[in-house]
Amino acid sequence: MTKKPKKVGIIEGKFQPCPSSPNCVSTQSTSEKHKMDPIKFEGNLEDAKSKIISIIKSLKRSKIIVETENYLHLEFRTAVWRFVDDVEFYFDAAEKVIHFRSAARLGYSDMGVNRRRMENIKKSFINT
């Protein structure tokens, strides 16, 4: 069991920065090794959020921890070792983008798991 993370949540529209380790990706990172582009959406925030939730619920070992009007915090657990990754989504209705951050709670390297997960979620969002 890993303890709850201290570095999750939105402060003035921003996630906590990624640590120096390579086991984190964020659309708000200024570091190239952590940076990913946000997901663009059309329509309203509620529909975009519903679509993300539907995608998340289709994935194994995912659990919604916090849900507000424009924010989601989820936990993903690895199959074998049950390590926890924290995934956050921030829905920016004004810019029509979904920012996200995905980070391993423990360790240094995640073997690219967080980046691949977010690429797959983004691809599912775009293609549905």
**pTM tops 0.85, yes or no:** yes
Tens digits of per-residue pLDDT, 9-24? 999 999 999 999 999 9
Reference 101, options 27, 10, 32, 39; nearest CA is 27
User: The domain 24-127 belongs to what CATH superfamily?
Assistant: Kinase associated domain 1, KA1 (3.30.310.80)
- Quote the CA–CA distance of 105 and 6 in Å, as a whole number: 10
Tens digits of per-residue pLDDT, 76-116? 997 777 789 999 999 999 999 999 999 999 888 888 899 99
What residue spans define the domains of the chain? Answer: 24-127
Tens digits of per-residue pLDDT, 25-74? 999 999 999 999 999 999 999 999 999 999 999 999 999 999 999 999 99
